């Protein structure tokens, strides 16, 4: 969904002080084959977070040749029980290939219908742009999928964090208690969990 390129390539100059929508191009005279290949996913997942997920993003910031190409990838690896918690991508549709394990994939439409499947290696799923989705490893072993996005920088916003752990100030308690239909004690408890997280 990103704008179409007007040239063969525009490898991002991530250090440029110019502020534009995307990144300015590196000087084409400095471009070599190396710019168009990314080896970061040759390393096995080894950086699992507290929810048992290793998320390796390959957006324009990791792979500058993606600048203006309107595409990017993530590798998402799970330990047993690992959860990629409910989140959205503000700028992209997600098309993913499961390569290992058994993964409960769900997403929620704007009519609040959940579409879901327990997925195995070789299967694909599609998440419409901007909608809430999650993945849970429900198998006995590790699990993995590779996500592709139609944006060089899809962005990710995790719902729990957006509600309970933001700066420079928290969402007012009156907003949270009314929106979530619970009392202050429960809000305080969840906030304290996210603060330690
Ligand atoms: C998976 O949903 C991801 O965003 O990588
Ligand atoms: Mn996603």
The DSSP code sequence of 153-190 is: S---EEHHHHHHS-SSSPPPHHHHHHHHT--HHHHHHH
For residue 152 the two structure tokens come to 């060089």
> Which residues, 6 or more positions from 5, have their beta carbon under 8 angstroms from its beta carbon?
68, 69, 70
Residue 74 Cα: closest atom of ligand 1: 5
Decide if 131 contacts 90 (C-beta within 8 A). no
Q: Which position has the token pair 């949270």?
A: 176
Say if residue 197's pLDDT is above 80.
Answer: no
> Which residues, 6 or more positions from 2, have their beta carbon under 8 angstroms from its beta carbon?
22, 68, 69, 70, 91, 150, 151, 152
Instruction: Return the biggest CA–CA distance within the chain.
Output: 62
For residue 169 the two structure tokens come to 């100030």
Residue 135 Cα: closest atom of ligand 1: 2
- The strands making up 72-78's β-sheet, listed across from edge to edge, are 53-58, 72-78, 143-149, 94-100, 124-127
| From 55, 75, 150, mutation site for ligand 1 pocket: most ligand atoms within 8 A of C-beta | 55
Residue nearest to atom 1 of ligand 1 (CA): 147
Q: Is the CB of 84 under 6 A from ligand 1?
A: yes
Q: Which of 44, 27, 37, 129 is nearest to 79 (CA)?
A: 44
> Which residues, 6 or more positions from 107, have their beta carbon under 8 angstroms from its beta carbon?
114, 115, 116, 127, 128, 131, 132, 133, 134
Q: State the pLDDT at residue 89.
A: 98
Residue range 174-181: average pLDDT? Answer: 98
**pTM for the complete prediction?**
0.95
Strands 114-119 and 103-108: what pairing? antiparallel
Q: State the pLDDT at residue 20.
A: 94
Q: 177: CA distance to ligand 2 center in Å?
A: 28
Say if residue 100's pLDDT is above 80.
Answer: yes
Beta strands in 17-165 (DSSP E): 53-58, 72-78, 83-88, 94-100, 103-108, 114-119, 124-127, 133-137, 143-149, 157-158
Mean pLDDT estimate for the chain: 97
Express each pLDDT in 133-152 by its tens digit: 999 999 999 999 999 999 99
> Which residues, 6 or more positions from 30, have their beta carbon under 8 angstroms from its beta carbon?
none
Express each pLDDT in 55-65 by its tens digit: 999 999 999 99
Cα–Cα distance between 143 and 146 in angstroms, integer? 11
Residue 89 Cα: closest atom of ligand 1: 4
Among all bound ligands, the one having the nearest atom to the CA of 88 is 2
Strands 133-137 and 94-100: what pairing? unpaired
ipTM > 0.85 (yes/no): yes
Q: State the pLDDT at residue 75.
A: 98
């Amino acid at each position: 969904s990103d704008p179409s390129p007007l040239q063969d390539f525009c490898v991002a100059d991530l250090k440029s002080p110019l502020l534009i929508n995307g990144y300015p191009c590196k000087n084409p005279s400095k471009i070599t084959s190396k710019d168009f290949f990314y080896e970061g996913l040759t390393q096995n997942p080894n950086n699992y977070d507290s929810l048992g997920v290793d998320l390796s993003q390959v957006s324009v910031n990791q792979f500058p040749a993606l600048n203006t190409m309107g595409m990017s990838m993530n590798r998402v690896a799970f330990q047993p029980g690992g959860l990629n918690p409910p989140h959205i991508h503000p700028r992209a549709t997600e098309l993913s290939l499961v390569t290992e394990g058994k993964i409960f994939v769900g997403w929620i439409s704007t009519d609040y219908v959940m579409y879901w499947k327990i997925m195995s290696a070789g299967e694909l799923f599609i998440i419409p742009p901007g909608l809430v989705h999650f993945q849970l490893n429900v198998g006995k072993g590790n699990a993995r999928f590779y996500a592709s996005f139609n944006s060089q920088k899809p962005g990710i916003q995790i719902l729990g964090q957006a509600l309970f752990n933001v700066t420079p100030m928290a969402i007012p308690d009156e907003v949270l208690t009314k929106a979530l239909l619970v009392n202050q004690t429960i809000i305080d408890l969840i906030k304290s969990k996210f603060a330690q997280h």
